[in-house]
Homo-oligomer: A and B are copies of this chain.
Amino acid sequence: MPSYKAPIRDLQFVYHELLEADRTLTALPGFEETSPDLVDAILEEGAKLFEQQIQPLNQSGDRQGCSFRNGEVATPDGFREAYRAYTEGGWCSLAVDPELGGQGLPETISFMLEEMLTSANVSFSLYPGLTRGAISAISSHASDELKARYLPKMVEGVWSGTMCLTESQAGTDLGLVRTKAEPREDGSYGVTGTKIFITGGEQDLTENIIHLVLARLPNAPPGVRGISLFLVPKLLPDDHNEPAHRNGVNCGSIEQKMGIKGSSTCVINFDNAQGFLIGPENRGLACMFTMMNAERLAIGIQGLGLSEVAYQNAVAYARERLQSRAATGSAAPELSADPLMVHPDIRRMLLTARAYNEGARALAVWTAINIDLSHRHPDIGGRTQAEDLVALITPVIKAFFSDFGYETTTLCQQVLGGHGYIREWGMEQFVRDARIAQIYEGTNGVQALDLVRRKLFIHGGRLPRRFFQLLTEFAEQQRDNLPLQPYIRPFIEALNLLQELTEWLVQQGATDPNQLGAAATDYLRIFALTTFAWMWVRMVAVSQDKQAGGDERFYRAKIQTGRFFLGRLLPQIQGLNLAIRSGSELMMAMPEADF
């Protein structure tokens, strides 16, 4: 059975040393008490629960899956108890405003815990994860009455939240949503329609489920400008806020899926269910995006979490499994064969996972700090700057983290050879679970279009301009740092390539919109790899500085992994750049009938 140990030391490195989050975050109003000791204690406490109680349910949850009978869903054995421990420990509400019953900690801490939780059990993580997203949408856009009625129990975790967007004819294209909302005399709405692919749409963990539903008002304009957002509880609360009356909400079935089998994926039927408008009429998609942006980042984190746990188990196997001899002569002549770890190709696979994981962890925490800054920076300029960076990097994290997560869980599975393909060893589950992150919450193709068609252009191109400036400034600051030059050189080369490509793309897109679509996926990958290179050079710089002061092995490994990233993985951008420059015509020239 696979095991998992939370990478506390590396999270501490990223938080305390690399990004100096202590200084940045404690300067923000409300976070003054977030001492380094408190952060470390939370990480360790969370790790204990996830490692000991939630991770052991990952494999059994996959085997058993969710079951459906008479409209009710049973989650796998142990999920109920684990969910109780999770909510009672206060893990649902770390970053929620204390006024709403939360603990008012920085989002940054919540992000770090999310990585650990997804390593331990992605299926489990989705239940509280969606509730967290629903809380943020409700608290940002709902009326005070709705907030007072629904948020406290959601923050406590005794009620959960979902997002009901997709319908059978409306996936990526939410303009095609058909679910209807009819105004009632009491100011509420009768919601009618069928939603599919609803994660946690029905389950046996919470006493109530609060659905956030996209639907159309009568006479709403067609397309995305005619969609409104509704809060539709499974059970309508009575005057004491106890879930009392069954609403017109039913689970029709659950899906049989490739992975995340411990997470229920439901068809939810709304039959004149009582719902309550959130935000202005016909502005539902904008309100939903509060939740979707948070979810997109969380889903990127799933890629990292799965890659980390897969890496750990592949390393353990590569250390113990004896097979063949090192090419340079036997490394362990006293044994029947050498451990797999002597083989360069095995190390290539492991280091690929490691280099992506550590780069991703740094970038995730950097992004989370910017989320906190965007909420609490004292200046509007500081808030906008942080908001811009988060908006730009969100599709990159969602798509690239989930892409590399699938690639590296596959590589780590490969390290185990035939045993990687057998269910018993658990590696193939990581691959199956990782696969969904490339698809849900907007496919990675849609993320790439969000980056190249929207984020590059809004506010007159301000987002990439700010971002590139940040990277350029860093490079300039390090100009006299001699030991860093071998690392900074490939980074600057990548940055130049990315900037030139961005200019080319923006120009091309002006005359041929298909150039943007044709370039999108590969462009996002170049963007991500360059951003990782930035993080890696920063990590190497810190490690070079600190290496002499103790914990030498940690910093040495960090520098070594950085070298691997820059030398072995970053060059991908050369081929991708050439591929993009071959242009959209290669894709569009073929008549549809010829496929």
Contacts and interface: CB of A to CB of B under 8 A. Distances in A.
A172 interface: yes
A108 interface: no
Interface string A412-448: 0110011011111000100110011011100111001
Contacts of A444: 414
Given A586-B564, A587-B351, A422 B517 contact: no
A571 interface: yes
Contact of A328 (B345, B417, B513): B513
A423 B257 contact: yes
Interface string A217-248: 00000000000000000000000000000000
Contacts of A438: 414
B258 A590 contact: no
Contacts of A548: none
Contact of A518 (B319, B345, B439, B586): B345
Interface stretch (A17-25, A154-162, A574-582): A574-582
A586 B571 contact: no
A430 B323 CA distance: 30
Contact of A586 (B258, B318, B420, B563): B563
Given A344-B514, A346-B445, A574-B574, A173 B337 contact: yes
| Copies per complex of this chain | 2
A84 interface: no
A97 interface: no
Contacts of A453: 327
Contacts of A448: 345
A323 B593 contact: no
Interface string A154-186: 000000000000100101110110000000000
A513 B342 CA distance: 12
Interface centre among A328, A345, A438 (most CB of B within 10 A): A345
A292 to B, nearest CB: 15
Given A169-B336, A424-B256, A431-B258, A588 B417 contact: no
A60 interface: no
A588 B344 contact: yes
A582 B567 contact: yes
Interface string A180-212: 000000000000000011000000000000000
Interface in A326-380: 327-328, 336-337, 339, 341, 343-351, 354
A270 interface: no
B422 A257 contact: yes
A122 interface: no
Given A560-B594, A561-B590, A590-B561, A421 B449 contact: no
A438 B418 CA distance: 10
A568 B518 CA distance: 10
A101 to B, nearest CB: 34
B521 A345 contact: yes
B347 A590 contact: yes
A335 B183 CA distance: 29
A445 B414 contact: yes
Contact of A575 (B435, B443, B576): B576
Contact of A421 (B423, B439, B569, B592): B439
A315 interface: yes
A482 interface: no
Contacts of A557: 590, 594-595
Contacts of A339: 592
A553 interface: yes
A595 B315 contact: yes
A38 to B, nearest CB: 30
Contacts of A259: 421
Given A520-B345, A584-B344, A420 B445 contact: no
Interface string A389-422: 0000000000000000010001001100110111
19 contacts: A172-B417, A173-B323, A173-B324, A175-B337, A176-B323, A258-B423, A327-B513, A328-B513, A345-B445, A345-B448, A345-B521, A351-B590, A414-B438, A420-B439, A421-B439, A557-B594, A571-B578, A572-B579, A575-B575
Given A319-B592, A349-B445, A574-B575, 15 more contacts: A169-B322, A172-B323, A173-B324, A175-B337, A339-B592, A341-B592, A410-B435, A414-B439, A417-B443, A418-B440, A421-B435, A560-B589, A563-B589, A564-B587, A574-B574
What are the 8 tightest A-B residue pairs by CB atom distance, in nearest-first order? A567-B582, A571-B578, A575-B575, A344-B517, A327-B513, A258-B428, A557-B594, A344-B518
